[in-house]
Structure 1
């Protein structure tokens, strides 16, 4: 990632990898990203509308240590990225799963080398890239509280993600319930109840395959449902296609 490099996604969202931020084009809504999610979105932008293999993505994010990383950590980062883009009106369905092949970021991405608007001030009189003045010459104390807050927030997200990535991504799911199709189903334990989950499985019995493990995430406050479908319950085998992520924006 190079200085001043940024991306315009679907003519409505700006992504600043150096600052680990995505925001609306007008800059009135900004979402900080963790280091892992930031690198994932950067790789998507560099390879938009191409099939990206899971191992290629993991190698880019974690380097040579990716062989010790669970696929569940990748899926969790993917869910966080989808949620962040949804908050900026980019449909999460545009990140598509290609069975046993990988992922596609089906967006129009335009790479930029200079920024027409500052990510910390929407006012046209205070844009950061319309001036040829080097970034290092700008007053450091211009908005110290904003930068300090951003640094602390990013550090907090990074610490939380590191903590949870060292545990199983499925630790916060209920004990498995075997359905008539022969699969084991787990529900996110922080949901109000499991009625939404069971109603969803009634409509999607095709996901229940003998020996498969399903981890279903949904809440009473939203219709969206995400499902991680694994052939190996404990993820002991690390090969492409071991787990698939299904996302249903309307829960249908």
Structure 2
């Protein structure tokens, strides 16, 4: 449990090594709530530090460089110039999250670290490569969630268009996980799992009434565990699930 922490749909955890992850969240400070980075071990719940961000508001999107050494914190897709120094985004070193530098960002709808290969624009801004580039996972909110091969041939439609769904997470072991909100508000939210190879649905977990997700799920380094953030009484909680 992490008191005084509020994740959002943009709060996708990124690995830091040694089992730790970093997540962009809203955090309570002596000056009130502000955006920041939370470092923690999702398996043990041990907190590794909180680092307020030099942003003027809003939970940012966090991207890890391909070599794993830098973190880019991008502002919202609507408002630019949202750093305290008037920039569009900031970058920091993975090993020292106390020092930030402004960095220009050409496209505001980032899905990966700038310079990282991404699917063609025709697949939509939500599309990402998966399974070492052999698959494309596209859609998820404004479009149906679909699985394609690297050449763009559709393999399967996984789910219909759902504006309330959270971004999907793909494990190194080839499992897709996605959280979905209950539209009726009578039941709880749910988790769905698919196989990255053929799109076959593997499992559904239906939450009990009042079980409300707050951010996208993320996998452990070995893909054996899925972590799902939610919020209760001003604290962020992590629910843990074994790989189906």
Superposed pair shares fold, TM > 0.5: no
Structure that is richer in strand per residue:
2
Structure with the larger RCO, 1 or 2 (CA within 8 Å, 6+ apart): 1
Shorter-chain TM-score range: under 0.3
Q: Which has the larger radius of gyration?
A: 1
TM-score using structure 1 length: 0.27
Structure with greater helix share of residues: 1
